[in-house]
Structure 1
Amino acid sequence: MTSTPDDIDDDDLSPDDEAGDSQTLTADIETGESGERLDRVLAGHFTDLSRARLQALIAEGRLSIDGKVIADGKHKARAGTYVLSIPAPVAAKPEPQDIPLDILFEDEHLIVVNKPVGMAAHPAPGTRDGTLVNALLFHCGDTLSGIGGVLRPGIVHRLDKDTSGILVAAKSDIAHRALSELFSRHDIDREYKAIVRGAPRYMSGTVTTRIGRSHHDRKKMAVLRAGGREAITHYQLEEVYGDTKPLAALLTCRLETGRTHQIRVHMAHLGCPCLGDPVYGSGAPAKEVQAILKELDFNRQALHAGLLGFIHPITGQKLKFKAPLPDDMQELADALADMY
């Protein structure tokens, strides 16, 4: 079994389309066409797109009318101007790049690395090089597993571009299949460090919800009342920052499942989103915390994959890897601790 995007943590959903490479198409729907199935009507306007491609773009949330996203082509068309955003194409095959890697473990079957902030896991529109895949292709040559496809060789799970921490990649197809099975069964130990706004009500707890694409913004994930997939996060409060009330906190989060953006969504659901989160960090932190973020120029989600443990899928060896907080998060934690 291979992983699907919902089985791998922190898949990057940001559009990242480069100006000049993406396309924007418009279709003026007349009154006489209203009431018909939307994707069928649009297929007659966007004749250069196949019906399947059009439906996929709509499902990705790239169609809108009057600023409102339409994510279901089965809707009835209505008179007005529909806008379709087509992402920039990506290279057919990533090129190897000599990018330094912080390698924690490597053998003939797999490689474990500590991914820095700012490095995407694999190429995508707007991020065509400088990715972990480009670095692995240079370091590993042709030994990476091909199961992940041309753009994602060896990739079993992912982290957001701006989430730092530990990733494992497969160098053989048999290891890729076995690792994917471990992730699917949740037989992986994964712990993250998060610095959040405020603090949870309890010292420790478990968040259990269903997570799926937001009904309001298809580029985001959200807690859903129905649909989506079960998501379970266990958290432990490690440090509280603030004098008379908690202004920020350091948490350890352990994933029982690995849904897209799971920790970021769950922390926001608790009312304490990751500091610096540009997508889920609704609401401003306290002025003292804002001042620290500005002084440190900290503008990414304060989230770090600090522990990864699993049974080696080929040798049976028990493996566990730890990575300390990166410099920017450690500086943030130190500054918060020194507020008073």
Structure 2
Amino acid sequence: MTEELEEDAFLDDEENQQDDLYEHHRLVADVGQEAIRIDKFLMKRLPNVSRSRLQAIAKAGTLFVNDKPVKSNYKVKPNDDISVVLPYPVREIKLVPENIPLEILYEDDQMVMVNKPSNMVVHPGYGNYSGTLLNALVYHFDSLPQRDDYYGRPGLVHRLDKHTTGILVVAKTENALTALAKQFHDRTSDRLYYALVWGDVEEDEGTITGNIGRSKKNRKVFQVYEDEEEYGRHAVTHYKVVERFRYVTLVQCKLETGRTHQIRVHFKHIGHPLFNDLEYGGNKILKGTTFTKYQQFINNCFKLLDGQALHAKTLGVFHPVTGEKVFFESELPEGFLKLLEKWRVYSRNT
């Protein structure tokens, strides 16, 4: 699929209209597709595209079904061939190899375990065309395989958020790519994360369940939809408390599903946003005292991280060739360790 629609490209700017149209997206509805409005259908399939944008596209006459323009209230039918075309060419994302150092935790002829640092996007996309983990991977490894549904992202079978640190597996062969992708799809991989969350989590362990979908107010973030079962995707996060620091809690999270921003969204939903989470409200003082000294302490803690306190610590997969279940571990980064030590000292002395 081609690049996502750019948010700053306005369809109703007549001065920018051209005679040529360029196809940006093309999708074919499933055989068993239920009849739903096309704007709602596309919202679930095109990230970062708001419903109002889709309605504007339809109004401009550049939303097509079976080569015919349709309105935003058109009901999608099985096997419909849907095209989104716009009056500007799709920006080609050229994957340029870049000599960026990588921390390799494990490597054989089938796969590589990489320790991703904070403040690094996994693959190029709108607003991030260089300096990504994938730019580094194609420099260090030749001929990485790629999936048709993950075009332009060779070797990747899963992702981590920009500021999430930790372990990520990369496939080196077609066989490994197929086998590993199936494991993530079938939920047979084991993923364990450490997160520092605001507040004193009441239960020592528990499970958070709730459909996760893009926010209808802000398409850049996600939220839990409990009362709208048809919206969002089923998501389950299991957690255990590792250590308590009065106003924040260190938790261990095991993913049963792998939705975008899952841990961040689930913990915000239960009232415990991740510490220093820029998108989900964790980058301000949510618990504690009003004393100036405490406020300074928190600000000093924030400075230790680029974003949310979330680390992908353990990854277990079945080896693509031997079939043996193998586990790999990534130590907490220096900033995260310093953050925990500061909270230990604070909690002991107050």
Do the structures match in fold with TM over 0.5? yes
What's 2:80 paired with? Answer: none
In structure 2, the CA distance between the partners of 1:320 and 1:87, relative to structure 1 (3 Å rule), is farther
- Residue 193 (str. 1) matches residue 194 (str. 2): yes
Separation (CA, whole Å) in 2 of partners of 1:204 and 1:53: 43
Superposition pairs of residues 1-340 of structure 1, within 5 angstroms: 23-25=8-10, 27=12, 49-50=21-22, 60-62=47-49, 75=72, 91-142=92-143, 144-147=144-147, 149-225=150-226, 226-227=229-230, 228-241=232-245, 246-281=246-281, 284-285=285-286, 286=288, 290-296=295-301, 297=303, 298-339=305-346, 340=349
Name the SS of the counterpart of 1:114 in structure 2. strand
User: Could you tell me which amino acid in structure 1 is paired with residue 309 of structure 2?
Assistant: A
Q: For this pair of structures, how many residues does the alignment match? A: 292
Aligned-pair identity (%):
37
Name the SS of the counterpart of 1:239 in structure 2. strand
User: Could you tell me which amino acid in structure 2 is paired with residue 307 of structure 1?
Assistant: T
Residues 285, 298 of structure 2: 8 Å contact kept: no
Q: Please state how far the C-alpha of 1:162 moved relative to its aligned partner.
A: 0.6
Name structure 1 gaps, 5 residues minimum.
Answer: 5-12, 29-41, 77-84
Separation (CA, whole Å) in 2 of partners of 1:124 and 1:52: 14
Q: Please state how far the C-alpha of 1:281 moved relative to its aligned partner.
A: 2.2
TM-score (norm 1): 0.76
Separation (CA, whole Å) in 1 of partners of 2:112 and 2:156: 10
In structure 2, the CA distance between the partners of 1:236 and 1:314, relative to structure 1 (3 Å rule), is same
User: Could you tell me which amino acid in structure 1 is paired with residue 339 of structure 2?
Assistant: L
Out of 121-130 and 302-311, give the one that drifted further: 121-130
Q: Please state how far the C-alpha of 1:200 moved relative to its aligned partner.
A: 2.0
Name the SS of the counterpart of 1:233 in structure 2. strand
Separation (CA, whole Å) in 2 of partners of 1:86 and 1:213: 27
Separation (CA, whole Å) in 1 of partners of 2:124 and 2:24: 23
Q: Please state how far the C-alpha of 1:310 moved relative to its aligned partner.
A: 1.2
What root-mean-square deviation, in Å, do the aligned CA atoms of Structure 1 and Structure 2 show?
3.3
In structure 2, the CA distance between the partners of 1:209 and 1:63, relative to structure 1 (3 Å rule), is closer
Separation (CA, whole Å) in 1 of partners of 2:203 and 2:249: 12
Residues 192, 252 of structure 2: 8 Å contact kept: yes
TM-score (norm 2): 0.74
Name the SS of the counterpart of 2:97 in structure 1. coil
In structure 2, the CA distance between the partners of 1:331 and 1:91, relative to structure 1 (3 Å rule), is farther
In structure 2, the CA distance between the partners of 1:253 and 1:88, relative to structure 1 (3 Å rule), is farther
